[in-house]
A and B are shown apart, each in its own frame.
Chain A
Amino acid sequence: MDPVVNSLFDNAATVLGFGFLGLSMIFVVLGYMNVKQIVNQPNPNERAVGLSRFFLKIALVFMLCAGPLQWITLAIEKYTSVSEVQLHITMTHPEWEKAYGDIYLVHKGETHPLVNKPYRGVYGQDDEIQLNAEKVAGVIRKIQAQLTVVASESRRTAGGPGIFADGDTTEQPAPPPPVDDIRILSGG
């Protein structure tokens, strides 16, 4: 919707509340003008006096209604409208490795990549935002598993008992001598 029209709706409660007071004022003015006319007449009739009384009664009704109506409209607005904020989110990490995986922000069913990519979004109250850190957690688990295996290997080659994933503690082949490294070093 057009922002100008939106702003009109945004201020509907205020306009409505002050509108009743405005109507009340109009009826007071009408009543006053009518009384002024009657006073200038040599023989004022009963109908003209009744009209002034009617104007003032209506003014009184609008005046009494304005306060509670303002109050009700404000309460309705509070319960029905959603306060929104605009947020800029990014995860700056220039050395982010491909292996760590992408981090996504999930909002209203849509995914937005975050690492080194700024994302601008409008969020309402109680909106749920999820971060997909699963791949990073997976990488951390892999590192933990690697450390378990490598530590077990180094204990075994150092003479201590090595414990593997399957609980196998029997004799395992020792790491080979770094022949490939020696050959690469010999290049050039």
Chain B
Amino acid sequence: MKMRHLTPIALAVAVLSFSQAAAQDKFGQTVPAALEKKVLEARQMRLPYRKEVYDPKESARMLEEVIAVKPDYYRAHFNLGLTYHELDDYEKSTESFDRAIKIQKEQGIDDATLFNTAGWVSLKNGDFRRAELLLKRAETMTKGTNTYTEGAVHGNLGQLYFLTQRFDEAQRHLTISRDEFGSKESAYYLDLIDKTQKVLVIQEQQIMKRLKTR
């Protein structure tokens, strides 16, 4: 227990002694190398397909330590949001994403992946209203960029509208994701919508039949 309390202090000392090694990270923030290394390690530990190092609880603990030293570390909050999602703690996950969004706004970090990822997490947790707000924001930010994120945003919006029975909008986004970005998942959802609409036609025919016989 004592060791756990000492770790952030030791980390802070390490950061101060290696402050010369500070450099810009993936998102353009100037971060001490030791902290970035720790975030990258924690990131590997939350990925379910990295079975040899998979330990999301430890990952969350490490990221919390990094945040205790550098509270405005955007990438740490971003990863912590995904780690809590991995731990099925949606409340803490949204808190982390909200803090990352706040830092992004304050420091002018240009990154649409956060909105797409946070929207995707909300979508996976059935919080459709929040998911739509975040994904719409990501759609605006990625429009015309022709990046992977742009395609992923359309795919996620398509899934969201499929799950909320807005099939016309779902088809529009999924078609973009499939045709322009080659998403096989979007093609699968388009197939599901097609099949669902066939079932709906049969349902309507049955209703009409029943009404006529009355």
Contact = CB atoms under 8 A, between A and B. Distances in A.
Contacts of A165: 195, 198-199, 201-202
A86 B86 CA distance: 54
B165 A184 contact: no
A180 B9 CA distance: 39
Contacts, number: 84
Given A150-B192, A175-B188, A187 B198 contact: no
B196 interface: yes
Contacts of B196: 142, 145-146, 148-149
Contacts of B113: 187-188
B75 to A, nearest CB: 7
B183 interface: yes
Interface residues of B, number: 41
Interface residues of A, number: 32
A166 B198 CA distance: 7
B47 A186 contact: yes
The secondary structure that dominates the B interface is helix
Contact of A97 (B164, B183, B192, B203): B164
A180 to B, nearest CB: 5
A179 B184 contact: yes
B117 interface: yes
Contacts of B164: 97, 99
A182 B117 CA distance: 11
B155 A149 contact: no
B166 interface: yes
Contacts of B152: 180, 183-184
Contacts of A166: 198
14 contacts: A142-B196, A145-B199, A146-B165, A146-B192, A146-B196, A148-B199, A173-B188, A179-B185, A183-B152, A185-B48, A185-B82, A187-B78, A187-B117, A188-B43
Interface of A: 95, 97, 99, 139, 141-146, 148-150, 152-153, 164-166, 173, 175-176, 178-188
